[in-house]
Structure 1
Amino acid sequence: MQTGKIGVSSENLFPIIKKFLYSDHDIFLREIVSNAVDATQKLKTLASKGEYKGEVGDAKVTVKLDKDAGTITVSDNGIGMTAEEVEKYINQIAFSGANEFLDKYKDDANAIIGHFGLGFYSSFMVSNRVEVITKSYKEDAKAVKWSCDGSPEFTLDEVEKEDVGTDIVMHVMEEEKGFLEDARISEILNKYCKFLPVPVIYGKKKEWKDGQQVDTAEDNQINDVAPAWTKTPADLKDEDYKNFYRQLYPMSDEPLFNIHLNVDYPFNLTGILYFPKIKNNFEVQKNKIQLYSNQVFVTDSVEGIVPEFLTLLHGVIDSPDIPLNVSRSYLQSDSNVKKISSHINKKVADRLSQIFKDNREDFESKWDDLKIFIEYGMLTEDKFYDRAMSFFLLKNTEGKYFTWEEYEKLVKDNQTDKDKNTIYLYTTNVEEQFTFVEEAKNKGYDVLILDDVLAPHLINKFEQKYTDKRFVRVDSDVVENLIKKEDNQKEEWSWEQKQELSPVFQAVCPENKDLQFIVDFQDLGETGSPMVITRNEFMRRMKDMSAAQGGMNIYGDLPESLNLVVNTSHPLVKKVLDAKDKKLGKKLEEVGTQLQVKKDEIAALEKAKEGKKDEEIPQADKEKLDGLNSELAKLEEAKREKLTDFGKSNKLAKQMVDLALLANGMLKGADLDKFVKRSVELIK
């Protein structure tokens, strides 16, 4: 028997392994099984070169759980080790500067494993003793047994072992007894070892018999040794890709399509990425891409490893150039990972472009499920934006799809304003904005549908890039003003007329702290709507973006600003105007005369002040001016009260405002009930 100490110059390795190695102790089984797979593959390689004459046809790794003995055993029939190799690969971890390195990385021991291949020692996270029973493939090699209790002391003995290979026996410590449950081991193996290239056997397959699950005689192989991504695209059919997706995500809807990655220069990379159906609410899981290294699962948290927008994809990426055991910070700064990320970005864009060119009709049919992903990529990756412009589609209210260039040609002649800007009209909700959409279409305009959560951000990006193009929502103004072809030559009311009628309609606007109505007057023609409610494009867009960002924006706290546009040519508006003149004409004339007298007096006093310093103006004049201004304000307020009272009592004014609200889907509940009853009264 040989005894000794593991060759590390400090005893702080094992405490670090047990305490700091991984927050997730499950990883130990991945490490031990992966090592066993490596040993098995090495023996196959030696056999293929004629350096090993034994049988390798039944190569496999077996995991056994013995709950009574408190052990987990991982066995392989791989290359095995001699006593000298055990000494070299297990006992001698005396790498240069061990103490300093361990002290530096004691809180991030993933880095220790990643740099120095200490995966075997992860077994001590869950074990109070580990035994290695191994026999080398070399002729006349003696089997040996290595044993260690989690301290630097070990024993090494010769033992009897018939077959070439290695058994790792882990005696699970009391506080980790949860790993002695069958379900727990199955879960770990399924997570980390599902696609290892050598068969991994765990127990026997089960069948339902006499009301319970019983073991059969057939081995339970938990892994697919040749998953789809390891094959060449020429060897796979569409159904193979779909079956593999179901294998990865058994509860998910079928994907839209996939991209098969197969690169051998300047780095090795294989994988299959799937485009899932992404709903408009953008609530997606970003942990659906599984990262592998030589078919060993590494992580499904790939943010920072692949471009942000690609985290919306599902599937598998496998590269031996990605270290198996490293910290996230290392992965995110690794040059190979950055190259891989850039390549996948390009590959995704190229694949989308090819699908678009090969079968545009199919691409269009999937666009509504695909657009969020593409828009996200265009907003977050400039290189992807440039590539995506060739297949990015705009959809109009007729359900037709256009590339950017195609749509520009479609609308340029008819939708260019007097300032040479091409106007892209759009709706965010065809039903709610139906009236505005129809009016725009009746005028010969085309209207786009931009109804997803990323559309406001994408619109801003387009307008920044193309300064001669503007996006205007159809309900942001009356149809005559959406695309101004020339300066408006129609006669409009005077400022005094507008001021006099504004309180009448302001009085019947909804009282809501979250809504702010601004009354405006425009000549929309006798056949136009009597009133139209529009939303200021700039303010609405800022509020939309603020909402998308969680409201952390000054615009997010402002009430919604709406324009109530009164059609000065409409007979019903003129009817209200006539009723106002009939009921308030004389009173308003009297107030108007008094106002004019006050204004004339104020003007005279202001003129007398011209050219004088403040101390040169008589105090009496100052006091008189203050008094006149106060009287003027009271007269203005009295006039406004009369107009407001008239507006509140005028059913026709209220009816026209409610009609405008109804057209915008804003009349609900009790207000809608009152509108219906008032309509009946007015019809009688």
Structure 2
Amino acid sequence: MKQGNIGVTTENIFPVIKKFLYSDHEIFLREMVSNAIDATQKLKTLATQGDFKGELGDLTVRISLDKDKGTLTISDRGIGMTADEVEKYINQIAFSGVNDFLDKYKDKANAIIGHFGLGFYSAFMVSKKVEIITKSYQDGAQAVKWSCDGSPSFTLEDAEKEDRGSDIILYIDDDCKEFLEKARIETLLQKYCKFLPVPVAFGKKTEWKDGKQVDTDEDNIINNVEPLWVKAPNSLKDEDYTKFYHTLFPMNDDPLFWIHLNVDYPFNLTGILYFPRIKSNIELQRNKIQLYCNQVFVTDQVDGIVPEFLTLLHGVIDSPDIPLNVSRSYLQSDANVKKISTYITKKVADRLQNIFKEDRKNYEEKWDDLKIFINYGMLSQEDFYDRAKDFALLKDIDGKFFTFEEYKNLIKDNQTDKNGELVYLYANNKEEQYSYIEAAKSKGYSVLLLDGELDTPVVSMLEQKFEKSRFTRVDSDIIDRLIIKEDMKKTELSSEQSANLSEVFQSQMPKIEKVQFMMEVQSLGENGQPILLTQSEYMRRMKDISRFQQGMAFYQQMPDSYAAVLNADHPLVKKVLEDTEKATADALKPIESELKGQEARLAALHQSQNGKKPEELTQEEKDDLKNTEQAIADQKKKKNELLAEYAKGNKVIHQLIDLALLQNGMLKGAALDEFLKRSVDMIR
């Protein structure tokens, strides 16, 4: 028997491994099984080359639990090891000192294992003792047993073992007893080993017998040794891809379509990427791409490894050029990974382009599900926009689809304003914005439907990409100002009439939290709406974008500002003005007279003080100016109070305001109830 110390430069290696790998300690099983698979694959290679002449026989890797002994054993019938090989591969660890180790690799177990060849030593994360009983495939080889109790010292001695291969026996530590539970091991095998290329058995299959589950004689093989992505695409049918998708994601709807990746130059890469159906909740859909290295699961945290927008895809990528045991930060800076990322982007774009060209009807039918990927890609990756602009679509409110170029040609004659700017009109809710849409259609305008989760930032992006173009929501202004082709018709009302009309309506507008209304009077024709509420395109878009973009939260705190446009040409509005003038004429006469006198006096004071600096004015002149301004303010307040008092009892004013609010979904609760009662009273 031989005794010795493992070749490391510090005796603290095992406490370090335990402490700093603890958060990721479940990967020990992946490492143990991967080593067993490697040993088996090497034997198969030797047999293929004629260097191993014996019978391969059953190559199944077996995992077994013994709760009584507290052991977990991983057994293979691979190449095994001689005593010299144990010395070489197990006892010598290239390790440069604990301080460097802690500084550089304290965060990630994968980084430690990958950089120091510590795959086998991950066993000590969960074990108080590890034994290896191994026998080389070479003729006449002597079986040996290696044992280590978690200190740098080990024993190596001859052993009895009939068959070639290795048994790795882990004596599970007291604080890791979860790894003696069958369910826990099954979960880990499903996670890491589901598609390994050599059969992996964990116990026996069970069946229901005499009222309980009992073991059968059949091995419980937990993996599919030939998953779909390693097969030739031309040998597969659509149902094969759909079935495999549901193997990966059992609860998901059928995918839209998929891309089968199969490349061997300039790097090796296979895989299948699926386009899932995503309506909303982008964040919930990320990290559904599983990354494999030679069918061994590496990670499903692929952000930074594949382009950001493709983290919405689901599926599998497998490449031997992606190192198995490395940290994500290493993966993200790895040259091969960057090449893979670029290649996948190109393949996705090519696939979408082909589907669009070959079967546009099918492509259009899937557009509502598909556009979230394409929009996300165009927003997050400049070069993807250059590819996608030919197969990205715009949909109008009638459900017709257009490429960017097709739609530009459709609207350029009728939707160009007097400044030569092309105006893209859009709605994001056909029902709520129905009357605004109809007003636009009556002018012969086309209206797009942009109701997707990313459409607001996409609109801003397209305005930058399209030459002399802007996007305007149909309810952001009155129809004649959405696309201004000539100067607006002036209202025939005097400024005093417009002011009075504005005030009677302004005074009765409801007080809604974080909402403000600004009144204006316009001539919109007798057939136009009496009152139209519009919301600034700029402010609304900024508030929408602030939901996606950091540093813009202050827009969310700002009130929603609406323009309440009074149609001076509408008979009902004219009637309100006429009734107001009749009802308030006598009371307003002395106020108006006093107001005009004070305004004339203020104008005279400004004229007399014109040219003087503030310090040149006497106190008397300053007081005179201040008192006159205050007198004007008092008279205006008295006038507005009188108009508001009249408006309070005018049912038509309230009815018109409520109709405008109702059209915009802003009439609720007690106000809606009052409107309904008033409506009944007015039609009796």
TM superposition score category, shorter chain reference: over 0.9
- More displaced 10-residue stretch of structure 1: 64-73 or 331-340: 331-340
The aligned counterpart of 1:530 is 530
Once the two structures are superposed, the pairs formed by residues 32-71 of structure 1 within 5 Å of their partners are: 32-71=32-71
Q: How has the CA–CA distance of structure 1 residues 379 and 615 changed in structure 2, closer, same or farther, with 3 Å as cutoff? A: closer
Q: Does 1:165 align with 2:165?
A: yes
Contact in 2 for aligned 1:377/1:384 (Cα 8 Å): yes
Question: What TM-score does the superposition give when structure 1 sets the normalisation length?
Answer: 0.97
Alignment partners' CA distance in 2, 1:146 and 1:623 = 103
Structure 1 letter corresponding to 2:46: L
Alignment partners' CA distance in 2, 1:386 and 1:106 = 40
1:10-40 residue CA offsets vs partner (Å, 9 max, x unmatched): 2122112222125121111110110000000
The aligned counterpart of 1:23 is 23
Q: Does 1:236 align with 2:236?
A: yes
The aligned counterpart of 2:452 is 452
Q: By how many angstroms is 1:569 displaced? A: 0.5
The aligned counterpart of 1:370 is 370
- Alignment length, in residue pairs? 683
Contact in 1 for aligned 2:490/2:522 (Cα 8 Å): no
SS in 2 for 1:309: helix
Q: How has the CA–CA distance of structure 1 residues 22 and 374 changed in structure 2, closer, same or farther, with 3 Å as cutoff? A: farther
Alignment partners' CA distance in 2, 1:98 and 1:596 = 92
Structure 2 letter corresponding to 1:475: D
1:178-234 residue CA offsets vs partner (Å, 9 max, x unmatched): 111111111111110000000001111111122211111111110000101111211
SS in 2 for 1:448: strand
1:462-490 residue CA offsets vs partner (Å, 9 max, x unmatched): 11222411111011111121111111244
Q: By how many angstroms is 1:621 displaced? A: 3.1
SS in 2 for 1:284: helix
1:328-363 residue CA offsets vs partner (Å, 9 max, x unmatched): 221222222122112212211111111111211111
The aligned counterpart of 1:279 is 279
Structure 2 letter corresponding to 1:21: L
Q: By how many angstroms is 1:550 displaced? A: 7.9
The aligned counterpart of 1:107 is 106
Q: By how many angstroms is 1:285 displaced? A: 3.1
Q: Does 1:140 align with 2:140?
A: yes
Alignment partners' CA distance in 2, 1:212 and 1:508 = 76
1:391-435 residue CA offsets vs partner (Å, 9 max, x unmatched): 111111101111111111111111111111111111111111111
Once the two structures are superposed, the pairs formed by residues 118-137 of structure 1 within 5 Å of their partners are: 118-137=118-137
Q: By how many angstroms is 1:613 displaced? A: 4.4
Contact in 2 for aligned 1:134/1:164 (Cα 8 Å): yes
Q: Does 1:563 align with 2:554?
A: no
Q: How has the CA–CA distance of structure 1 residues 312 and 394 changed in structure 2, closer, same or farther, with 3 Å as cutoff? A: same
Alignment partners' CA distance in 2, 1:281 and 1:140 = 63
The aligned counterpart of 1:438 is 438
Alignment partners' CA distance in 1, 2:506 and 2:9 = 85
SS in 1 for 2:661: helix
The aligned counterpart of 2:582 is 582
Alignment partners' CA distance in 2, 1:539 and 1:140 = 83
Alignment partners' CA distance in 2, 1:294 and 1:402 = 43
Q: By how many angstroms is 1:587 displaced? A: 2.7
- More displaced 10-residue stretch of structure 1: 266-275 or 35-44: 266-275
Alignment partners' CA distance in 2, 1:551 and 1:572 = 46
Q: By how many angstroms is 1:156 displaced? A: 1.2
SS in 2 for 1:21: helix
Structure 2, unaligned runs of 5 or more: none
- Over the matched positions of the two proteins, sequence identity in percent amounts to 60
Once the two structures are superposed, the pairs formed by residues 139-538 of structure 1 within 5 Å of their partners are: 139-538=139-538
Q: How has the CA–CA distance of structure 1 residues 616 and 114 changed in structure 2, closer, same or farther, with 3 Å as cutoff? A: closer
The aligned counterpart of 2:5 is 5
Alignment partners' CA distance in 2, 1:557 and 1:233 = 54
Alignment partners' CA distance in 2, 1:615 and 1:335 = 72
SS in 2 for 1:80: coil
SS in 1 for 2:53: coil
Structure 1 letter corresponding to 2:317: I
The aligned counterpart of 1:97 is 96
Alignment partners' CA distance in 1, 2:236 and 2:414 = 49
SS in 1 for 2:416: coil
SS in 2 for 1:141: coil
SS in 2 for 1:167: strand
Q: Does 1:77 align with 2:84?
A: no
Alignment partners' CA distance in 2, 1:527 and 1:614 = 53
- More displaced 10-residue stretch of structure 1: 610-619 or 494-503: 610-619
The aligned counterpart of 1:624 is 624
Q: By how many angstroms is 1:106 displaced? A: 5.3
The aligned counterpart of 2:644 is 644
Alignment partners' CA distance in 1, 2:457 and 2:33 = 48
Structure 1 letter corresponding to 2:505: F
- More displaced 10-residue stretch of structure 1: 390-399 or 336-345: 336-345
SS in 2 for 1:23: helix
Contact in 1 for aligned 2:8/2:95 (Cα 8 Å): no
SS in 1 for 2:546: helix
- More displaced 10-residue stretch of structure 1: 224-233 or 22-31: 22-31
Q: CA RMSD in A?
A: 1.7
Contact in 2 for aligned 1:502/1:519 (Cα 8 Å): yes
Contact in 1 for aligned 2:521/2:567 (Cα 8 Å): yes
Structure 2 letter corresponding to 1:50: G
Contact in 2 for aligned 1:22/1:110 (Cα 8 Å): no
Q: By how many angstroms is 1:116 displaced? A: 2.8
Q: By how many angstroms is 1:243 displaced? A: 1.1
Alignment partners' CA distance in 1, 2:551 and 2:500 = 38
Alignment partners' CA distance in 1, 2:458 and 2:564 = 29
Structure 1 letter corresponding to 2:248: L
Contact in 1 for aligned 2:75/2:166 (Cα 8 Å): yes
Contact in 1 for aligned 2:489/2:523 (Cα 8 Å): no
Structure 1 letter corresponding to 2:123: S
Q: By how many angstroms is 1:147 displaced? A: 1.1
Q: How has the CA–CA distance of structure 1 residues 169 and 491 changed in structure 2, closer, same or farther, with 3 Å as cutoff? A: same
Contact in 1 for aligned 2:421/2:470 (Cα 8 Å): yes
Alignment partners' CA distance in 2, 1:528 and 1:253 = 47
Alignment partners' CA distance in 1, 2:425 and 2:554 = 27
The aligned counterpart of 1:604 is 604
Structure 2 letter corresponding to 1:278: I
1:106-155 residue CA offsets vs partner (Å, 9 max, x unmatched): 51453231123220111111111111111111121111111111111111
- More displaced 10-residue stretch of structure 1: 488-497 or 194-203: 488-497
SS in 1 for 2:510: coil
- More displaced 10-residue stretch of structure 1: 189-198 or 168-177: 168-177
SS in 2 for 1:596: helix
1:267-313 residue CA offsets vs partner (Å, 9 max, x unmatched): 21111111111113435232211111111111111122221111111
Q: By how many angstroms is 1:513 displaced? A: 2.6
Contact in 2 for aligned 1:278/1:284 (Cα 8 Å): no
Alignment partners' CA distance in 2, 1:627 and 1:120 = 91
SS in 2 for 1:258: strand
Q: By how many angstroms is 1:92 displaced? A: 1.7
Contact in 1 for aligned 2:658/2:667 (Cα 8 Å): yes
Alignment partners' CA distance in 1, 2:9 and 2:516 = 75
Q: By how many angstroms is 1:259 displaced? A: 1.0
Alignment partners' CA distance in 2, 1:614 and 1:140 = 112
Q: By how many angstroms is 1:657 displaced? A: 1.0
Alignment partners' CA distance in 1, 2:197 and 2:613 = 96
Q: By how many angstroms is 1:324 displaced? A: 0.9
Alignment partners' CA distance in 2, 1:610 and 1:507 = 36
Contact in 2 for aligned 1:135/1:144 (Cα 8 Å): yes
Q: By how many angstroms is 1:491 displaced? A: 4.0
Contact in 2 for aligned 1:377/1:385 (Cα 8 Å): yes
Question: What TM-score does the superposition give when structure 2 sets the normalisation length?
Answer: 0.97
Contact in 2 for aligned 1:551/1:557 (Cα 8 Å): no
Q: How has the CA–CA distance of structure 1 residues 191 and 612 changed in structure 2, closer, same or farther, with 3 Å as cutoff? A: closer
Alignment partners' CA distance in 2, 1:615 and 1:141 = 110
SS in 1 for 2:520: strand
